[in-house]
Amino acid sequence: MRQPLVAGNWKMNGSRASVRELLDGIKHGIAEVGGAEVVVCPPFVYLQEVQDQLAGTAIAWGAQNLSTEGSGAFTGEVAASMLLDFGCKYVIVGHSERRSYYGEDDALVARKYAVARAMGLVPILCVGETLEERETGVTEEVVGRQMDAVIDLEGVEALQDGVIAYEPVWAIGTGVTASPEQAQEVHAYIRSRVAGKSTSAAESLRILYGGSMKADNARELIGKPDIDGGLIGGASLKADDFLAICRAAG
Ligand code: PEP
């Protein structure tokens, strides 16, 4: 039985005041969430505030990116050890915004996955196709290639230590959500691809859907057999909206 997981990706949003307010709101409603695991991923600079406010609660936290390097002369980078220092459990790797705006390719994303895993962080590996790729019928090829970069580097067992988030690029921040059937189809493909190499890894792997998930579509999406929760962008910035998704998952 896979525990549902809902992770909020705050992206580059917030201020000290708004982060405090958002955390207060989430903490206030967390008791009604039921069985879902809840995670927030703030910008790096707010990790201290998040750790101060969430330590000892049922809410976990993580980062949105990490360096492949351990320490040293890498200006602007943040190491896995630093994330651990601030109590992070999770780290997002390979978000489509990092792939498209910062040139992160499959090989770099796989190295980030490997470093996170080696350091004891739980990587959330984002995969997903663009609209053009969907329309030309190569969704499975793209998602398969993004998964294989990690599997080839680390072995299929590595996926047991992480989470996969299927995020169709055309659905991220657009208000256009994949239909539950469209999402389930790709989730089932992801699980079957893993099952081809390890049935135990496939059974335990949590696969989240991300892309304009909101309170009013979360229940139907997460109700599908291979959708184990959500990676939430915009709707994670308002406590009530985020908690409603968490309740739907729980
Ligand atoms: C995301 O950025 O991971 C995401 C799913 O964003 P949104 O929910 O805003 O589409």
pLDDT of residue 1: 82
CA of 45 to the centre of ligand 1 (A): 20
* pLDDT tens figures, 165-214: 999 999 999 999 999 999 999 999 999 999 999 999 999 999 999 999 99
Q: Distance between CA atoms of 183 and 186, rounded to whole angstroms?
A: 5
Quote the number of domains for the chain: 1
Active-site hit among 95, 129, 154, 187: 95
Whole domain around residue 185: which residue ranges?
5-249
Q: Is the pLDDT of residue 30 over 90?
A: yes
% of the chain exceeding 90 in pLDDT: 99
Q: Distance between CA atoms of 229 and 60, rounded to whole angstroms?
A: 15
Q: φ and ψ at 71, to 5 degrees?
A: -175, 175
Q: Is the pLDDT of residue 79 over 90?
A: yes
Residue 92's DSSP bridge partners are 124
Active site residue 167: yes
What is the pLDDT averaged over residues 115-132? 98
Give me the CATH number covering residue 57.
Answer: 3.20.20.70
Q: Distance between CA atoms of 5 and 123, rounded to whole angstroms?
A: 13
Q: Distance between CA atoms of 75 and 98, rounded to whole angstroms?
A: 17
Q: Is the pLDDT of residue 64 over 90?
A: yes
Q: Is the pLDDT of residue 28 over 90?
A: yes
Residue 231 beta carbon below 6 angstroms from any ligand 1 atom: yes
What is the pLDDT averaged over residues 68-94? 98
Q: Distance between CA atoms of 23 and 28, rounded to whole angstroms?
A: 8
Token pair 């895993």 in the structure block, residue: 117
> Would you place residue 230 in the very low, low, confident or very high pLDDT band (cuts 50, 70, 90)?
very high
Residue 210 beta carbon below 6 angstroms from any ligand 1 atom: yes
